[in-house]
Structure 1
């Protein structure tokens, strides 16, 4: 009987998003990120960060959005992302091996390639939170 070598630590994937008006595009992105490792950590944008990025308050509060994302079976840990400038800190804090972002951010986080693998995944076509909010507001 051969003795197995030392057990390597789980491969940790980290991703970030607002996840407001949670939809199938969010779900698919999170599931694809989870499939890239053994453990998935998700940073949910703080209300203030969303306001500064998108110029509007989220429909759901950060506490509600955090609860929704935490309830997903593929998510192992969630936290509030307070600032885009803290990405490196979050990567290091959670010992992430892979950073996964939507391809709408392509190139924006390449600077972290010295700390972890950086992967940009294609977004689900024809769906966006902004478009959903506009459609709902228009009464369609």
Structure 2
């Protein structure tokens, strides 16, 4: 199968040696996204809700670049700097997923890039 790199200027530039996403066949692997606003390269971390919204906007931009949307997501991984934020993150997350929910794990980690509070990566499958 062919590996295709997915890139969009509507999501943050990678901050390391990785791609925003990689498509292999019908499967899209989206790298972990943090709350960097691609328009000004600033971290949007005023509240955990705004931070989560920006993360999901970044995920959506990458999905759109691969001609997909949230309905194509089959797996999400959520990384939190503090599990006490879980309910607030979940509330924002639930606005993007309303049925046929993807598989998911949520874990607390010691630190995240740029000292953000939430990072989300996804796997999506293009429907035939």
Tell whether the structures are fold-level matches, with TM greater than 0.5. Answer: no
Flag the structure with higher strand content: 2
Structure-2-length-normalised TM-score: 0.34
Structure-1-length-normalised TM-score: 0.32
Flag the structure with higher helix content: 1
